[in-house]
Amino acid sequence: MNWLLDPFNYEFMRQALMAGVLIGILCPIIGTYLIVQRMALLGDVVAHAVLPGLAIANFLSLPLLTGAFISGMFSTFVTSWIRAQSKVKVDTAMAITFSSFFSLGVALLTALRSRLDLEDLLFGDILSITPADVREIGFITLGVLLGVKVFYKELLFFTFDRLGAEAMGLPVGVINFGLMAAITLTIVASIKTVGVILVVALMVSPAAAAYLLTKELHWMMIIGAGLGVFSCMVGMYISYYLNTPSGPAIALTLFACFLLTLLFSPSQGILTRNHKKTNQKRNRSSKSSPDI
C-alpha cells in the first residue's frame, strides 16, 4: 500500500489529486451534452478561444477567469453569427473561429509581453495547483453541477429536440446561453490542470466511452464522471512514478479507457459485436442443419 499512499505525503500532490477529482467529475458531465448534440468540436473552439482573454486580462491585471470567460463566450457568439449570416456549415464556422482566436491569443501573449507561460496554458501544470486554485475549481464545479441539476429537464428537452422545446414555449435562447456558459466555465476551470489542448480530451473521451455503454443521459453523466475521475487519478500516479507530464498522462489514460470500451462494450464493442455475430451464425446454421 505504500506506493498508493506515498503521493499523499506531499502537499502539491494532495492539491493536484483534489483538483483532478473535481475536474474529472465536471468535464465529462458537461461533455455529455457536446457528445449528444454532436458538437464535440465546440469544446475545442472555446478551449483555444480563451487565450486572447487570458492575455488581455493578464496585461490589465484583471482576474484571469473573467478574461477567459468573456473571450470564450464571445467565440461562441462569433460561431453562431457566422452560421446565421452565411450558408457556411457549423463545422466550417467553428474551424474559422478556432484558428482565428487561437492565433490572436498567441499574438497577444507575445505583443503584450505576458508573464503567462504558453506551454503551461497549452498542456497544463496540475502539479502547480494551489489551494486557492482548488477552491476556485470547486466553486465552479459546484455552481455548474447545481445548474445542471436544477435545469436538467429543460436541458434534456433542449438537447434532444430543440424545435420541440421551442414549440413548447421554453426559452431556448436562454437555455443555449446557459449551456455555452457552462461549457466555457468548465474549460476555464480545467485549463490550469490539463491545458487548452488536452481539456477537450477530458470533456469528450469519458463521455464518448459512456455513450458506448448506455443511451440514457443521466447514466452517461454518471459513468463518464467515474471514468474521468479514474483517469485523472491513474494519470497522476503515472506522472508521479514515471516522471512524465501529468496532462498527457491523463489524456493517454482517457484514451485507453475509451479504447477498452470501444473494444469490449457489451452492446457496441467491436470484439463483442463480432462475437455475437459469430454466435448468431452458428445458431442459424445449427437450426438449418437436418437431424440425422
In DSSP notation, the chain reads: -HHHHGGGGSHHHHHHHHHHHHHHHHHHHHHHHHHHTT-HHHHHHHHHHHHHHHHHHHHTT--HHHHHHHHHHHHHHHHHHHHHHSS--HHHHHHHHHHHHHHHHHHHHHHTT-SS-HHHHHH--GGG--HHHHHHHHHHHHHHHHHHHHTHHHHHHHHH-HHHHHHTT--HHHHHHHHHHHHHHHHHHHHHHHHHHHHHHHHHHHHHHHHHH---HHHHHHHHHHHHHHHHHHHHHHHHHHT--HHHHHHHHHHHHHHHHHHH-TTT-HHHHHHHHHHHHHHHHHHHSPP-
Task: Kindly report the CATH number assigned to the domain that includes residue 86.
Answer: 1.10.3470.10
Q: Is residue 183 part of a domain?
A: yes
- Angle at Cα 102 formed by Cα 96 and Cα 104, nearest 5°? 100
| Domain contains 291 | no
Residue 96 lies in a domain: yes
* pLDDT for position 150: 92
Assign 126 a pLDDT band (cuts: 50, 70, 90). confident
For 256-271, what is the mean pLDDT?
A: 88
pLDDT in tens, 39-81: 878 888 888 888 899 889 888 888 888 888 999 899 989 988 9
What pLDDT sits at residue 280? 62
pTM for the whole structure: 0.85
CA triplet 267, 272, 277: central angle to 5 degrees?
A: 95
Domain that holds residue 196: 2-283
CB-based contact 206:254 (threshold 8 Å):
yes
Instruction: Give how far the C-alpha of residue 25 lies from the chain's centroid of Cα atoms, to the nearest Å.
Output: 10
pLDDT-derived band at 292, boundaries 50, 70, 90: very low
Let me know if residue 290 belongs to a domain. Answer: no
Angle (CA) 258 142 210, round 5°: 20
Q: How far apart are CA 18 and CA 24, in angstroms?
A: 10
Report pLDDT for 28: 93
Structural domain includes residue 289: no
pLDDT tens-digit series, residues 228-255: 999 999 998 998 888 888 888 888 999 9
Cα 284 to Cα 279: distance, rounded to the nearest angstrom: 9
Domain count, the chain: 1
